[in-house]
Structure 1
Amino acid sequence: MAMSAVARDTVFALRRQIAKIEGTLPERLEAPVPGATGSDVTIVRRGLAVASPDAFLHTGIEGLDAALGGGLPKAALNEIHGLETRDAGAVAGFALSLASLILKQKQGLPVLWIGTAEIFREAGFPYASGLHALFGIEPDQLLFSEAPKLLDALWVAEEAARMPAFAAVILEIRGSPRLLDLTATRRLHARAQAAGRPVLLLRQAGEAEPTAAPVRLIVSAAPAASRKTLAGPLAGSIGRPAFTVDIGKSRTALPGQFTLEWNPDEHAFAERTENSVAVVPLPLRGTDPAAASGAVLAFPPVASPAAISPTTGDQPSRQQRPAHRSPRRTG
């Protein structure tokens, strides 16, 4: 029994230490209650609930902000994950959207984008002429630092994360390198907390690994909707940029998937609700929906097979014979 009590106390101490590290340790707040006598009433709240609203970067999407516990923490390391290389454009566009929201609050400060020569050669640089039109970011507000090696990029990110001259720091990494381990992300997270500014970690084509980032968003490109006109959606047109955002990790541990559109005019996100489409056959007693009308093409009448005389000229030539009848290549 003595060993069980010791083990139980050890488990409780470990849980308390983990909650303290994660910032979810319950806090005691002394609040006087009108009409109460004697000592004040103690109210117990979780650390996540008592956080100041200014501590989060609000995306403007109520469902996403609520699932993240208020939004993206400003003084923290936030991970934006692209599962495949082809998602690099969507991840970069989503990061620029967040940078636009950050620069609205910290005007006059630039954003530093750090990467290696490999990542910039593979994914490219953002188009400078489109920064202002799409995101409201001036070209001189986005600085780039190209490091020859990942070790140099991590050092630049750690040093820049504690400098008050930047509104935010973006670190773009490709794959799952061994140098980007839990210790390296803890250093970045600690620098971001001490400086009070966000550090965005862009992961291109990498596996989901344990990191110190309290938030991990998995971003991919979503089909763009048609442009809206006064007469309705314009068929065949391409509308606003759209992202599919999955919550891979958060302090609330609430899952969720959202389709967000970026409004280049207002520089803000908008949630898009997909139209419900039947993906399974209707019941036997039901009726199938009418097929959508399409273009009608006129073709000349085709003669019946019996009307075609089996002459030699009607037989396919040697070059027109099916491929499966030709001899296979050997050797």
Structure 2
Amino acid sequence: MAISAVARETVFALRRQIAKIEGTLPERLQAPAPATLDADAGVGPGVDLTIVRRGLAAALPDAFLPIGVERLDAALGGGLPKAALTEIHGLETRDAGAVAGFALSLVSLILNQAQGLPILWIGTSEIFHEAGFPYARGLHATFGIEPGQLLFSEAPRLVDALWVAEEAARMTALAAVILEIRGNPQRLDLTATRRLHARAQGAGRPVFLLRQAAGPEPTAAPVRLIAASAPAVPRETIAGPLAGSIGRPAFTVSIGKSRTALPGQFTLEWNPDERGFEERRDKERRAENPVPVVSLSGGRKDPAAAAGEILAFPAVGSPISPTPGNQPPPGQRATHLGPRRAG
């Protein structure tokens, strides 16, 4: 019986340690009175705490990064954890631009609190050759990020990119670390993501794992978001929507995994002037295409409209058609219009 009790306590201790590493905090509870807190924890009276059930850990509200959208922050339990690994998925390769733009938007929110610190973007040669690099001028105009703040590390192999990410994740001199991976490689398993998550927790810095054309799989990241591009609406002016214009960048963000286990899908617009997100709740409207629509084919119920006058071949008798009296003499006609010689 004593051996069973010791083994049970060992299993419980391992589970608590794994939950602490993975950051699985599914439920937020009301904080107890300050007098009941441990005096050695360095928490004084009047400090608001967030108590979580699993792991019995206490987290300050400053441990979360609010996205700025009330419904999304509520579904995530307060926002994204600052000191943790966060996955941002793109279901298809063509979503790489939307995933990168959404990640840069989150980095812009982080830089509001950690101004002046650089960001390290890590990827393999395949990633950068496929998706390219962010446009330097667009970084400052859209996200308020100076081009000199964004550092890139191009690794020849995935194992090298993972090593660079683990070493960079423990550095407090970086505002955030971005690791971009394609697909579901075998080396990026649960153990590798646990190491990244543990490094992020130790340094108190976020690590964003961008995954192109990847499917969901078990990882240590407490939050997984699925990002894609959303149709842009016309630009808003004082007189109303400007027809034919393209408005602010928009993203469709779905929650694939979170501490609260609450699903949700949101359409977010990034405001480059305010440097923040806004939720679009009205019906999505596509920007009007100024190009005229091509007529339907003649085999349909609505045949194509009759063609107008073709200037290249004017009708006989029209003012621009040549008259017989204006024809050049036979000697000045083109050779291909003359009679063909036989033989």
Does structure 1 residue 68 correspond to structure 2 residue 76? yes
Query: How far, CA to CA, are the matches of 1:276 and 1:240 in structure 2?
Result: 13
Pair 1:201 & 2:202 matched? no
- Paired residues of 1:262 and 1:268 also in contact (CA < 8 A): yes
Q: Please report how far the alpha carbon of residue 235 of structure 1 lies from its aligned counterpart in structure 2 after TM superposition.
A: 1.7
Cα–Cα, structure 1 residues 239 and 19, in superposed 2: closer, same or farther, change >3 Å?
same
Change (3 A) 1:162 1:101: same
Alpha-carbon distance change, 20 to 77 in structure 1, aligned in 2, over 3 angstroms: closer
Contact 1:173-1:204 within 8 A present in 2 as well: yes
Correspondent of 1:127 among 123, 127, 135: 135
Letter paired with 1:83? L
Residue 46 of structure 1 corresponds to 52
Matches within 5 A, 1:213-228: 213-228=221-236
Q: Distance in 1 between matches of 2:35 and 2:168?
A: 44
- CA displacement at 1:266 relative to structure 2: 1.0
Q: 1:181 is matched with which residue: 182, 185, 189?
A: 189
Residue 233 of structure 1 aligns with an amino acid whose one-letter code is P
Q: Quick check: 1:168 aligned with 2:176? A: yes
Partners of 1:300 and 1:245 lie apart in 2 by 46
Partner of 1:87: helix, strand, or coil? helix
Residues 45 and 96 of structure 1: CA distance in aligned 2, closer, same or farther (over 3 Å): closer
CA contact (8 A) 1:115 1:173 kept: yes
Task: Give distance in 2, aligned partners of 1:143 and 1:196.
Answer: 19
Using the aligned pairs only, state the percent identity.
Answer: 71
Q: Is the 8 A contact 1:27 1:47 kept in 2?
A: no
The alpha-carbon deviation at position 47 of structure 1 amounts to 4.4
Secondary structure of the residue aligned to 2:115 is coil
From the superposition, tell whether residues 195 and 13 of structure 1 become closer, same or farther in structure 2 (CA, over 3 Å): closer
Q: Does 1:156 align with 2:167?
A: no
2:112 alignment partner, SS class:
helix
- Which runs of structure 2 are paired with 1:3-152 in the superposition (5 Å)? 13=12, 17=16, 22-23=24-25, 29=32, 46-47=52-53, 50-152=58-160
Q: Residue 59 of structure 2: SS of its match in structure 1?
A: coil
Partner-residue secondary structure (3-state), 1:91: helix
TM norm structure 2: 0.71
The verdict on how the C-alpha distance between 1:16 and 1:194 changes in structure 2, with shifts beyond 3 A counting, is closer
Q: How many angstroms apart in 1 are the aligned matches of 2:94 and 2:306?
A: 45
Amino acid in the other structure paired with 2:251: F
CA shift digits 1:154-206 (9 cap, x unpaired):
00000000112210000000011000000000000000000000000000001
CA contact (8 A) 2:231 2:284 kept: no
- The 1:19–1:96 alpha-carbon spacing in structure 2 relative to 1, beyond 3 Å, is closer
- Secondary structure in structure 2 of the residue aligned to 1:105: coil
Separation (CA, whole Å) in 1 of partners of 2:89 and 2:167 = 23
Contact 1:116–1:150 (CA under 8 A) maintained in structure 2: yes
Do 1:78 and 1:199's aligned partners in 2 also have CA atoms closer than 8 Å? yes
Q: Distance in 2 between matches of 1:56 and 1:161?
A: 18
Max radius of gyration: which structure?
Answer: 2
Task: Identify the residue that residue 300 of structure 2 maps to in structure 1.
Answer: none
Distance, in Å, in 1 between the alignment partners of 2:123 and 2:73 is: 28
Q: Which of 262, 274, 281 is the matching residue for 1:273?
A: 281
Amino acid in structure 2 at the alignment position of 1:146: E
Displacement of 1:237 in angstroms is 1.2
Shift of 1:46: 2.9
Per the TM alignment, residue 51 of structure 1 is displaced from its structure 2 partner at its CA by 2.5
| TM-score, normalised relative to structure 1 | 0.74
Q: RMSD of the TM alignment (CA)?
A: 3.2
| Distance in 2 separating the partners of 1:219 and 1:179 | 23
* Equivalent in the alignment of 2:256: 248
Partners of 1:208 and 1:228 lie apart in 2 by 37
Q: Is the Cα–Cα contact under 8 Å of residues 262 and 269 in structure 1 kept in the other structure?
A: yes
Q: In 2 relative to 1, CA 153–51 (structure 1 residues): closer, same or farther, beyond 3 Å?
A: same
SS in 2 for 1:81: strand
How far did 1:275 drift?
2.2
Figure out how many residues of one structure are paired with residues of the other and give that number.
Answer: 269
Question: How far 1:29 sits from its partner (Å)?
Answer: 4.6
Counterpart Cα distance in 1 of 2:51 and 2:127: 44
Structure 2: runs of 5+ lacking an equivalent: 37-49, 286-291, 296-303, 308-343
CA apart distance, 1:207:
1.1
Q: Which amino acid aligns with 1:46?
A: V
